[in-house]
C-alpha cells in the first residue's frame, strides 16, 4: 500500500489555536503546514515534524517552513487531550529562531515540558471562556 498525504485542516486549526494560546509568537502560523498521511507502516509514531533546511531555503529562495504530519492510523483515534499533547510536542520541535532547524528530544522536547504546556493551554482556555462570559 502506498502512503497518501492530504491537507489536515483540523490539525491546522489546532496548531493555530495552540500557537496563539501558548503565545508562541516566534512561530509563523502561515509557515506551518499540516498534513495527514494514510498507509504508513510506522508502528509507534503518531506525528512528525519536518523542516525546510537551510540549503533548500537558499536554493529555492524561500523562507523557513515546517510541516507537521499526523499519521492517521495512530492519531485520529486518540482522545482530544492526547491529540492536543501530540501537537504541543511537535510544535516544541520548532526552535525560537524559526530558521529551519529542529529541536531534539533530549533536554528540549520532554514529556514534562509537554505536560506543563498542556496545563498552560487549559488555563488559557478556561480564563478566555470566563472573560467571554462576562
Does residue 46 contact residue 12 with C-beta atoms inside 8 Å? no
**How buried is 17 (Cβ within 10 angstroms: 0-12 exposed, 13-18 middle, 19+ buried)?**
middle
What mean pLDDT, rounded, does the chain reach? Answer: 93
CATH number of 4-128: 3.30.2010
Split at pLDDT 50, 70, 90, the class of 134 is: very low
CA-closest candidate to residue 46, choices 11, 19, 20: 11
The residue with greater pLDDT, 129 or 34, is 34
Residue with the three cell numbers 525546510: 52
CA-closest candidate to residue 34, choices 3, 69, 73: 69
Annotated domain spans of the chain = 4-128
Per residue in 25-82, pLDDT (tens digit) is 999 999 999 999 999 988 899 999 999 999 999 999 999 999 999 999 999 999 999 9
Amino acid at each position: 500500500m502506498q502512503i497518501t498525504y492530504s491537507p489536515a485542516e483540523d490539525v491546522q486549526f489546532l496548531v493555530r489555536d495552540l500557537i496563539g494560546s501558548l503565545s508562541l509568537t516566534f512561530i509563523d502560523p502561515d509557515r506551518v503546514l499540516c498534513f495527514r498521511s494514510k498507509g504508513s507502516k510506522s508502528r509507534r509514531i503518531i506525528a512528525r515534524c519536518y523542516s525546510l533546511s537551510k540549503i533548500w531555503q537558499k536554493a529555492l529562495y524561500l523562507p523557513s517552513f515546517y510541516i507537521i504530519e499526523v499519521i492517521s492510523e495512530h492519531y485520529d483515534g486518540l482522545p482530544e487531550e492526547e491529540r492536543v499533547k501530540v501537537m504541543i510536542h511537535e510544535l516544541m520541535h520548532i526552535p525560537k529562531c524559526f530558521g529551519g532547524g529542529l529541536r531534539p528530544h533530549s533536554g528540549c522536547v520532554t514529556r514534562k515540558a509537554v505536560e506543563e504546556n498542556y496545563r498552560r493551554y487549559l488555563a488559557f482556555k478556561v480564563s478566555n471562556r470566563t472573560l467571554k462570559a462576562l
